[in-house]
Amino acid sequence: MADDAAQVPVATGRTRFPQISPRAYEHPADRGALATARAVPGFPAVLKAIYGAIPERSERLLALATSIKVSETQYPELHRLRVECATALDLEQVPDLFITRDPHPNSYAMGMDEPFIVITTGLVELLDEEGLRFVLGHEMGHILSGHVLYYTILRRLIGLAAGMSWMPVGYWGLRAIILALQDWHRRSQLSADRAGLLCVQDPAVALRVHMILSGVTDPSKIDTAEYLKQAADYDGVEDVRDSVLKLIHLDGLTHPLPVVRAADLQQWAAGEQYRDILAGEYPRREDDSTTSNWKDDVKGAAKSYKEAITSSADPLAKVLSEVGSLVSDTAGKVWNSFTGGNRGGGDSSGGSGPDKGSGPSAN
């Protein structure tokens, strides 16, 4: 870790997570969506071109010239929080933090070689100290997961595509990559929220932040159970036409809808994975290179999507689930007819049927 973090303990009563791997908190849909984005034709070439075209230094210089760089003498309370969050997640280097004048509540991390965090004055003015700790942990989760590289690429591609709209071939190629990255970026917020929770270590704080971002002015006047019920009501619409409208709502969005996002994090906070991490049982970075690959990410995402669809009350999700089961069963019978009974196909243990994850049972 950087020297300034090494000298500062985590806030009293909070656990530190030495060498924690981002796999400990990353949402499977996040990892799978990024693996899918990487598979879009032309993505590696575009990534390489964008990475080398505009040096990270330009964004950092702009931040220095337009914002306040947090330090021991400038926003000292935020300086303390950023060091404590970096210590909790055991980051190798404490990211620089800038506060920029903007009434819109927002925060983001960007950069490639030395990522930094930007928080708007609108968000600083809305949140208390613990809320800001959650936000800083969220952004440091992005950094630890390597999300900032792809977010920086996404920002640059959006600007580039705007100037290429007159060139149909080039524009639509970039548009495909942008859509894939936007889908990933929405899902990456779920992972980063979990990192923020690991920093603040209080689900009520995270819920309060999400409520404020939803429009709450005084959390003490809001029934949290009723607030979370909104997510269930949103999921459980009765008309398929509403399901289509929900898909339209996501068009162009870079973040999940706040009420749905809040419910997702609270569900994770109530589960075993979060409790295991707090108890010190989590994957370490030293094992990352040998335990993860893009095929595992895609399979994990597929499992996550299947579970979400199965448990959803959305009528369109029910239709997809029923159709998916019907197609899977039919495909399995067809496979068995060609392979002579049960010599694979539907055998979950493997055998001579199709490879796991690529056969009819994959969803």
Mean pLDDT value across residues 197-209: 96
Higher pLDDT, 39 or 62: 62
Q: In whole angstroms, give the CA distance from residue 148 to residue 267.
A: 26
Tell me the residue type at 320: L
Q: Which pLDDT belongs to residue 29?
A: 79
- Answer yes or no: are the C-beta atoms of 124 and 103 closer than 8 Å: no
Mean pLDDT value across residues 282-296: 70
Mean pLDDT value across residues 76-105: 97
- Please determine, for residue 242, whether its predicted confidence score (pLDDT) is greater than 70: no
Q: What is the DSSP string of 235-261?
A: HT-S-HHHHHHHHHHTTT-SS--HHHH
- Please determine, for residue 348, whether its predicted confidence score (pLDDT) is greater than 60: no
Mean pLDDT value across residues 40-50: 66
Instruction: State the pLDDT confidence band at 156, using cuts at 50, 70 and 90.
Output: confident
Cα dist. 44→49, 107, 119, 208 in Å?
A: 9, 27, 30, 39
* Range 229-260 burial, b when 16+ CB lie within 10 A, else e: eebeebbebeeeeebeebeeeeeeebebbbbb
- Answer yes or no: are the C-beta atoms of 94 and 88 closer than 8 Å: no
Of 44, 32, 112, 41, nearest in space to 293 by CA: 32
- Please determine, for residue 128, whether its predicted confidence score (pLDDT) is greater than 90: yes
Phi-psi region of 156 (alpha: psi -120 to 50; beta: other; left: phi over 0): alpha
Q: What is the DSSP string of 273-302?
A: HHHHHHTT---BGGGHHHH--HHHHHHHHH
Mean pLDDT value across residues 212-235: 87
- Answer yes or no: are the C-beta atoms of 230 and 307 closer than 8 Å: no
Instruction: State the pLDDT confidence band at 162, using cuts at 50, 70 and 90.
Output: low
- Please determine, for residue 169, whether its predicted confidence score (pLDDT) is greater than 50: no
Q: Which of 92-101, 104-113, 259-268, 327-336 has the lowest mean pLDDT?
A: 327-336
Q: Is 117 helix (H, G, I), strand (E, B) or coil?
A: strand
Q: In whole angstroms, give the CA distance from residue 229 to residue 281.
A: 32
Instruction: State the pLDDT confidence band at 324, using cuts at 50, 70 and 90.
Output: very low
- Please determine, for residue 252, whether its predicted confidence score (pLDDT) is greater than 60: no
Q: Which pLDDT belongs to residue 332?
A: 47
pLDDT (tens digit per residue) in 4-40: 444 444 555 789 999 999 999 998 878 776 776 666 6
User: Which run of H or E residues covers position 118?
Assistant: strand 116-120
Specify the pTM. Answer: 0.71
Q: Which pLDDT belongs to residue 48?
A: 63
Q: Which pLDDT belongs to residue 245?
A: 52
Q: Is 97 helix (H, G, I), strand (E, B) or coil?
A: strand
Q: Which pLDDT belongs to residue 202?
A: 96
Q: In whole angstroms, give the CA distance from residue 291 to residue 105.
A: 38
Q: In whole angstroms, give the CA distance from residue 318 to residue 325.
A: 11
Q: In whole angstroms, give the CA distance from residue 120 to residue 99.
A: 6
Q: In the sheet where 68-69 sits, what is the strand order? A: 68-69, 96-100, 116-120, 107-110
Higher pLDDT, 16 or 146: 16
Task: Count Cβ atoms below 10 Å from residue 77 Cβ, excluding itself.
Answer: 10
- Answer yes or no: are the C-beta atoms of 107 and 118 closer than 8 Å: yes
Mean pLDDT value across residues 126-154: 91
**Strand spans (E) along 47-94:** 68-69
Q: Which of 118-132, 165-179, 237-251, 314-328 has the lowest mean pLDDT?
A: 314-328
Mean pLDDT value across residues 221-240: 77
Mean pLDDT value across residues 130-153: 91
